[in-house]
Structures are given as structure tokens and as C-alpha cells.
Amino acid sequence: MTRPHVFLVAAERSGDLLGAGLARELRELTGGEIRLSGIGGSAMADEGIVSQTSIDGLNILGWIDGLKAYKRVKQAVAEAVAAIVAAKPDSVVLIDSWGFTLRVARGVREADPSIRLVKYVGPQVFATRPGRAATLAATVDELLTILSFDAPFYAPHGLPVTFVGNPTLERLPTGDGPAFRSRHGIEAEETVLVVLLGSRPSEIRRMTGPFVAGLTRLKAAHPDLRLVMPVADPVADQVDAQIARHPVLAEAVRVAEDEKADAFAAADLALACSGTVVTELATAGVPTVTSYKLGWITWSLVRAFNLLKTPHISLVNIAADARIIPEVIQLSCTGANLAREVDALVTDKPRRDAISERLRAVTETLRGTGQASRRAAEAVLAGLSR
């Protein structure tokens, strides 16, 4: 019997991590009797999937950044489609990264309609651009969603949807806070603020200014506040450049991604660019102030066409339909506003404790039945038999 062949496609760090978890479970469920290939980053490479093309330069967000990277994206799409068609897998799993994976899906569908296409993590149609549900339904064979409330948006368009749960809520191991503090000379009574600038180069460019301004104010008000900066591997060079440029960042304990769980366990609170990491912080029960800025032209288009359909940007706030995590976005994203929101948490431990408890409760409901990567792998294998 021929081993099934599954091709995984991820274009940025969060998708790369999802792909790695999926690959592990596919191998375990089949006893290794499966062929895996794909396009991804270092996490998938650690699982033995050597990327068929580079994903450098694809970690982008927004129309303007997309236009700037158009040639690179167009080239990467062509390379990805060519690699998939040449490999002729039984199934392609397209992970997150809406713009890139949609173009790849369309290219593969046109070149070889016999290849099954599975989208893993759908576009956030509940928050913006609901028309994408119909677009996706016309392009792929199945959606594996990490959100329990996604399915009704796709049902009218006839797209089969399988809720697998959110692997992000399971991926981060329980950290050792006391050990982290001991390693880095942080006393038990000191207040630790974890700072995360973002996982995309564009985010680091936009968020560093207001973050630095806010942190400078906070350190002036609370000189003993200890800053900790876990840095994602793909953007380490960009973050390190900002650390070298700004004294308040240079004061921080800078750690690599492998210490993230321990850093979160040691944290009293966090200031983070909005994204997957905010959900990870919520899972660890870390009270967080989150922030985000789009490019001005992109933001103007969002406002002009009323594309933002939810009052919140953080998944935990959306799921709870409440502002558990303070959000400081766009025009409000200034050093003064960030400092004020963080300061309110620094000086109010009972509030931090209450937020921590609510965050753990909300993320527990988002987790689903657990073993999300395994459920995703089971769905992929079930699709192969249909």
C-alpha cells in the first residue's frame, strides 16, 4: 500500500509552529507510515520537513506592506505551487497566512484539481471581511478551525468545518518562574514586566517608538520595575537592533524563545504587541496590556470601509465579549497611554489577580477538548480516505 503524502505550507512563525505540531501527530498516528514534505521555517525543519522554498519576507500584514512585498510574494507563490504540483501529494494543508496560502491554493487548484486542499486556521471573518468565507469555500475542500465559533460563518457556503481546538493553548509548557528569577538575578519580591515588541519586522518598526516612550515613563515612576524581553528567533536581529538603540530596552533581561515559558511564569504582568503571544500570556494567566498599530493608509482603509466588525482585537476579549485585557490601538497607541494602562496594573495587585483568574477561565473554554494538533492530524487523515 502506498504511503499517503501530505504537503504542509506555512509562511510565518505561528504557522510554522502549528505545522510542526501537526507533523508530529501525523507521524505518530500513522506509525511513521506517511510521507511529509512542505514549506515552512525552523520548527518544521526540526520535524524533518526541509522547506521546498524560503519563507523569508512573507511575514507581512496589511495592504501597504503587502504591496511593498508584492514581487517577493508573487515569486514565493509560484515557487510553492511548482513544488506542490511536482510533488503531487494527496493533500496540501495550508496553514494560516491568509493572503499567501489563498494564492497558493488557487494556483494548485488550477494546475491539479485532484489534489485535496485543507485550510488550517481560517481568516477571522467574525472580526473583518466576512466575504472571505465564501472565497475560502470556493477554493479549498475543508477548513480546520481553532475557534469554536467559526463554523456558522462558513455553513451557508457549504464548506466542511472541523473544530480542532487551539494548539497555542497547549503548546506553551508550564514554566518555572522561581528558577527563571534565580538564573537572571531577579528577587522574589521584585515586579517583573514582560515586554514583547512583536513577531513581524513591520510590527517591531511601528511598536518600538510607543513602547520605548511608555517604558521610559514607567521606569521613571517605578525604578525597581524589572523588564524581561523574550525574543522570537525569526526577528531576533531586528529586536536586538532596537535594544542597542534604546537604553530602556538595554536594561531589560533579554532571553531567547526557549526561555519564554519560564519568563511568563516569572511575570507579574506584560506589555505585548497584539498577536498569538497574547493568547499564550493569557493561558499562563499573565495580566497583559496589548497594543497594535497598522500603517496609516491601511488603517484609513479599514475605517473608510468599516472593515473591523468587532470591538476587540484580542482573541481572549473576543471570546469573552469583554475587555479583560486592556487594548491600546492605533491613534491611542502612545507612550503616555501605554504607561497609564500598565501603571494601573503595577499598582493594583488585587486587579492583576482577578484578571489572571479570568484569563485562565477564558482560555480553558478556548482550548476545546485538548490535543488540538492530534485532532487536526486525525481530520487530515480522515480527509484522505474520503
Extents of the domains making up the chain? 5-165+368-384, 175-366
Whole-angstrom distance, CA of residue 100 vs CA of residue 76: 9
Residue 6 contacts residue 49 (beta carbons within 8 Å): no
pLDDT of 367 above 80: no
Report pTM: 0.74
Give the torsion sign (CA, 100, 133, 320, 334): positive
Rounded distance between C-alpha atoms, residue 373 and residue 24, angstroms: 8
Residue type, 6: V
Integer Cα distance of 60 and 297 in angstroms: 15
What pLDDT was estimated at residue 368? Answer: 67
Inform me whether the pLDDT recorded for 378 exceeds 70. Answer: yes
DSSP bridge partners of 273: 291
Nearest C-alpha neighbor of 263 from the set 274, 250, 252, 273: 252
pLDDT digits (tens, 9 = 90+) for 303-340: 555 556 667 778 899 888 899 999 998 889 999 999 99
User: What is the C-alpha to C-alpha distance for residues 289 and 31, in angstroms, rounded to an integer?
Assistant: 44
* Dihedral sign (CA 313, 64, 153, 13): negative
Identical fold at 5-165+368-384 and 175-366?
yes
Q: Is the pLDDT of residue 62 over 70?
A: no
Residue 64 has pLDDT above 60, yes or no: no
Task: Tell whether the model's pLDDT for residue 259 goes beyond 60.
Answer: yes
pLDDT at 61 over 60: no
Mean pLDDT throughout 88-109?
95
Tracing cell 503548546 back to the chain, one arrives at 171
Terminal CA-to-CA distance of the chain, rounded, Å? 17
* pLDDT of 248 strictly over 90: yes
Q: What is the pLDDT of residue 59?
A: 58
What percent of the chain has a predicted confidence (pLDDT) above 70? 90
pLDDT of 4 above 70: yes
SS3 114: coil
pLDDT above 60 for 66: no
pLDDT score at 173:
80
Q: Which fold has domain 175-366?
A: Rossmann fold (3.40.50)
- Residues 234-256 as b/e (b if ≥16 CB within 10 A, e otherwise) read bbeebbeebbeebebbeebbbbe
CA–CA distance from 181 to each of 28, 122, 195, 265, 348 (Å)? 36, 38, 16, 10, 22
pLDDT in tens, 173-197: 889 999 999 999 999 999 999 999 9
Kindly state the average pLDDT of the residues 46-75.
Answer: 73
Q: Which CATH superfamily is domain 5-165+368-384 in?
A: Glycogen Phosphorylase B; (3.40.50.2000)
Q: How confident is the model at residue 251 (pLDDT cuts 50, 70, 90)?
A: very high
